[in-house]
Amino acid sequence: MIPASVVTRLGKEGFPLEAETFQPASGGCIHRALLGEDTSGRLLFLKLNDASRHDLFVGEKRGLELLRATATIRVPAPLATGIEDGIAYLLLEGLSLRGGGGPGGDEAMGERIAALHDWHPPEPRFGEERDNHIGATPQPNGWYGSWAEFFVERRLRHQFALANTRGGGFSDATVTRCLAVVRDVLVERDPSPSLLHGDLWGGNAAFLDEGEPVVFDPAAYFGDGEADIAFTRMFGGFGPGFYRAYRTRHPAPAGVERLHAIYNLYHLLNHFVLFGGGYAESAKRTMREIAD
């Protein structure tokens, strides 16, 4: 199930896999995911893909390292990544996870995410030094002094271009008007840069058996914490306790619904790029809501 060359390579890197213990695991639709043990019985999580997708693993490892360095919320430790015989791999700490955290679980998750958003870069700037991915879509970063300029140029304008390549039909005039409104709203918002998970929804969060919150599969960068909170509402997965706990530390800003519509426009466009379907029309409705 695991290519022998990958087993050999990881053994040389200090991770002697017990290859026959690895079984398919839930790990999203992009990579092949396996859960098993090393020769000492330690639980490990292994992702595999074609060598051409190795940059996704590099970005994921970088994001996990950024989150892990904050010591605010548990993430699986990234152990090794590389390419062997045309196969890209990412080896992570294996964790025994469950979907719910029991009584107080949502509150604990909200508290940990609030603490994460209190983590700021050494310099007051937005972005990240390396590009990464949101799902399978390239996500350009770099550093900007202005959140409004970063989000307009590195997030929305980038996704509009990708969406039109896929046939989204977003006219230049409509995009220009939308981006002008977004820029004005975000200039007024003027947030401090916080470390974001970047892809925070119910499918990328869980709990250890004892109830400790865990997040994974990040698309991390420094931005407005409300961008993370906006996406938690797009597909669900977080209960009222999450928001009560988060808002204790980070009260909702003025105009939060419009702000969340702006931030979720990015994800609607990305879902159209990835999956097509009705996401383009949802994005166009959101653009009209933002402009009203």
Tens-place pLDDT, residues 31-55:
999 999 999 999 999 999 999 999 9
Domain 99-291 has CATH 3.20.20.80: no
286-291 average pLDDT score: 95
113-142 average pLDDT score: 96
User: Angle CA(164)–CA(167)–CA(171) in degrees, nearest 5?
Assistant: 50
Residue 102 has a pLDDT of: 79
228-255 average pLDDT score: 95
28 pLDDT tier (thresholds 50, 70, 90): low
212-216 average pLDDT score: 97
Task: Report how far residue 56's alpha carbon sits from residue 14's, in angstroms, rounded to the nearest whole number.
Answer: 23
Question: Which of residues 27 and 188 earns the better pLDDT score?
Answer: 188
Question: Which of residues 210 and 86 earns the better pLDDT score?
Answer: 86
Residue 104 has a pLDDT of: 87
17-35 average pLDDT score: 90
Residue 103 has a pLDDT of: 83
Which sequence positions are flagged as catalytic? 199
b/e code 100-130 from CB counts within 10 Å (16+ = b):
ebeeebbbbbbbbbbebbebebeeebbbbee
Is pLDDT of 101 > 90?
Answer: no
Backbone angles phi, psi at 46, to 5 degrees: -120, 130
19-35 average pLDDT score: 89
pTM: 0.95
Residue 27 has a pLDDT of: 64
99-109 average pLDDT score: 88
Note whether 246 and 256 are within 8 A (CB): no
Is pLDDT of 203 > 70?
Answer: yes
Q: What is the CATH number of domain 4-95?
A: 3.30.200.20
Is pLDDT of 22 > 70?
Answer: yes
Task: Report how far residue 226's alpha carbon sits from residue 229's, in angstroms, rounded to the nearest whole number.
Answer: 5
Q: Domain-by-domain residue ranges, the chain?
A: 4-95, 99-291
Task: Report how far residue 227's alpha carbon sits from residue 263's, in angstroms, rounded to the nearest whole number.
Answer: 5
Backbone angles phi, psi at 84, to 5 degrees: -140, 120
101-105 average pLDDT score: 83
Is pLDDT of 213 > 70?
Answer: yes
Residue 235 has a pLDDT of: 86
